[in-house]
Structure 1
Amino acid sequence: MTMKTHSTLLLLAASIISAGCQTTEIVPPKTIPQYENIRTMQADSDLDGDGVLDAIDECPETPPNVVVDAKGCKIIIEGGDALEMEFRGFFLPISNQLPAIYDTEFIKIAEKINEYPEASVFIFGHAATNEIDEDALATLSFDSLSRNRALIIKNTLVFQYNIDAKRIRTYECSNKLLVRETDYINPSFKALNLKGLEAKQRRATLMASSTVHDLMSLEYKSDMQRYGGYAKHCELFE
């Protein structure tokens, strides 16, 4: 009985010694670099401030407060239940006939206006200084050419696309709100073979908004920036 106990103790001691002799493999830690190379990106310029870098900006002279696409070009703005849209059409000298080049674009404009039946439409007629008849201006106190340019667009919306005339307001801007030589003009200007600063003034501007309904009661800064110049310089006539 005593010998069996001693044998058990010896076996237990041998087991403890054997366990103590086992070696544990220690995995060396991954080398952590003391210094990490970080590439410094130097920001490119964005001269027109539209959020698209000049290196990829296909419309580098976008006017302020205009939403642009990934190429930096102006797009029609729509979001949720709101609509903000702008269109500029250019005319040949002493003409109030909107060129056929705009026919396709006008279909899209009319469709979008009809999608937002609560939206108001503002149309501003412009004329170049060398188009204005000073005698007629003195007699009538308004420029008939710029009015007719606004009216031709209104009539197109009403008679061709069945847009309610009550939603549309037309303004005569005469030769005010001049476009600068550096202002971005949409591709139709070149497509019509128009050149020079005077040609940029021969235009009509359409703006549609589901939030702005009266240019005399603009509430927000963004609305003032977009419509304030027209409210100040253009005369409502219909």
Structure 2
Amino acid sequence: MKTKSWMTIGVVIASFILASCQSTPKNTMIDKQVYVPPKVLIEPLADTDNDGVPDIIDNCPNTPKDVVTDEYGCPVAVNLIGPLMMEIRVFFERHSNDLQTKYLIEVEKVAEKMHSDPELVVVLSGHTSEPEAVQIVVDINGEMNQVEADKRQLGRERAQIIKSALVKRNIARDKIYMFDCADNMPIAPNDTEEGMSMNQRIYGKALKADDFYTGSDHEQSLTYYKEFCQQF
């Protein structure tokens, strides 16, 4: 009996030792949480007005659709009507032929275009508003009457002013054609101040001499101007 008791104790001890050996070993390493930075989606640079210039460098962020812009997103001044013609428009105060400083840049552009192509000529047409074409006179009875003024004088003077400005920029006189159109070709009604101001103008263009002489485009030809205006 004593022998069996010792055997039982030995089996218990052996089982305990075996169970201890099969237990999961304790992890002695310190768990460390690895920092993983969040993923950031990098989108293309925004271009709110779709002019091809990113907003971050766009100095003119609200450019209208289909407007040509420079590298900073601002509209490029384009005076070219086509590859072979350039327009100039200059407006005058009532009864005045004084060339305002702000229009000198227009003259400069035409002169530059002329220097770039020896086959170009400049066509200048002087225009007046309807009120400029009449004069108010007071008769001996003190009544006011309208009489026609020298309708061609002011338009002629305006064209001459622009011609002189171009000649000062080394444009040959024989490449400048002038027409006095008086009030025969209004571009706006003369019944408002704004309309009258639009008609007090010089309209000019630099274009190929052959096109002007042959009249390939009637509205830009010598014949067209002679229908409404007086050449001088």
Common fold: TM-score over 0.5: yes
Q: What residue identity is the alignment partner of 1:161?
A: R
TM-score after normalising by structure 1: 0.55
- Which of 155, 161, 176 is residue 184 of structure 2 equivalent to? 176
Identity %: 29
Q: 1:178 to 1:57 in 2, by over 3 A?
A: farther
- Which of 76, 80, 84 is residue 76 of structure 1 equivalent to? 80
Larger radius of gyration: 2
Q: 1:195 to 1:75 in 2, by over 3 A?
A: same
Deviation at 1:102, TM superposition (A): 1.0
Q: What residue identity is the alignment partner of 1:88?
A: R
Deviation at 1:229, TM superposition (A): 4.6
The answer for the alignment partner of 2:194 in structure 1 is 196
Deviation at 1:230, TM superposition (A): 2.9
Deviation at 1:100, TM superposition (A): 0.6
The answer for the alignment partner of 1:162 in structure 2 is 170
Q: Bigger relative contact order, structure 1 or 2, given CA contacts below 8 A and separation 6+?
A: 1
CA offsets per residue over residues 148-185 of structure 1, 9 Å max, x none? 00010001111x2011000011000000111136xxxx
Deviation at 1:210, TM superposition (A): 1.5
Q: How many residues align?
A: 150
Is contact 2:124–2:205 with CA below 8 Å preserved after alignment? yes
Is contact 1:177–1:229 with CA below 8 Å preserved after alignment? no
> Unpaired segments of 5 or more residues in structure 2?
1-62, 70-74, 135-146
What is the alpha-carbon distance in structure 2 between the residues aligned to residue 57 and residue 90 of structure 1? 28
Deviation at 1:233, TM superposition (A): 0.8
- Which of 152, 155, 158 is residue 146 of structure 1 equivalent to? 155
The answer for the alignment partner of 2:230 in structure 1 is 235
> Unpaired segments of 5 or more residues in structure 1?
1-54, 59-67, 182-193
Output the aligned Cα RMSD: 3.0
What is the alpha-carbon distance in structure 2 between the residues aligned to residue 94 and residue 236 of structure 1? 21
What is the alpha-carbon distance in structure 2 between the residues aligned to residue 213 and residue 169 of structure 1? 14
